Amino acid sequence: MVPDELIEKLRKIVGRERLKTSIEHRLAYSRDWAPMLASDAYIPDVVVKPKSTEEVAEIVKLANEYKVPVVPMAGLTGMGGGAVAVKGGIAIDTTGLNKILEVDTQNLTVTVQAGITIAKLNDELDKYGLWFPHDPESKRVSTIGAAIACDNDRVWR
């Protein structure tokens, strides 16, 4: 499904260490917490772990060019099967995008990369006497990007 030529181009974007094609690595990205049969694992063809928005943009541009599906995957604690590569393709592991870019205490806003966990964000905000109120039990691994994508807990809007 993902041609070798595309894998090579992806490797040029993220480097050897942040691109995985072994079955052991890909199996780890084959399901989230949705109730599924053991036989229901959907294995992506390749996993990439970008560290910047620019890398994500380049990956998605290439996926579009080759007409290969992409699935963003973060903590994989979603319970609806959203982070599952049902048609294979490229799994984009967003957990390398884990930086806080700006805390604006005046306007009570924070700018973060999508893969930061809710727990890490709140550990940092605690230094300013602030907190982000969406507080799922999965906070040690679940991310801001997924919370926005899933529209979790409208309390933080």
Inter-helix orientation angle 53-66/4-14, to 10°: 170
Amino acid at 83: A
Residue closest to 10 by CA, chosen among 19, 2, 1, 23: 19
47 touches ligand FAD by CB under 6 A: no
Residue 151 makes contact with ligand FAD by CB under 6 A? no
Q: Is 82 in the site for ligand FAD (CB under 6 A)?
A: yes
| 76 touches ligand FAD (CB under 6 A) | yes
Angle, CA 103 vertex, CA 58 and CA 117 arms, to 5°:
60
| Closest by CA position to 29, among listed 101, 79, 69, 88 | 88
83 binds ligand FAD (CB under 6 A): yes
User: How far, in whole angstroms, is CA 141 from its chain's centroid?
Assistant: 11
Q: How far is the CB of 72 from ligand FAD (least distance, A)?
A: 4
Least distance from C-beta 102 to ligand FAD, angstroms?
18
- Binding flag, residue 91, ligand FAD (CB under 6 A): no
Rounded to the nearest whole angstrom, what is the least distance from the CB of residue 134 to ligand FAD in the complex?
7
List residues binding ligand FAD (CB under 6 A): 32-33, 71-79, 82-83, 94, 114, 136-138, 141-143, 145-147, 149-150, 152-153
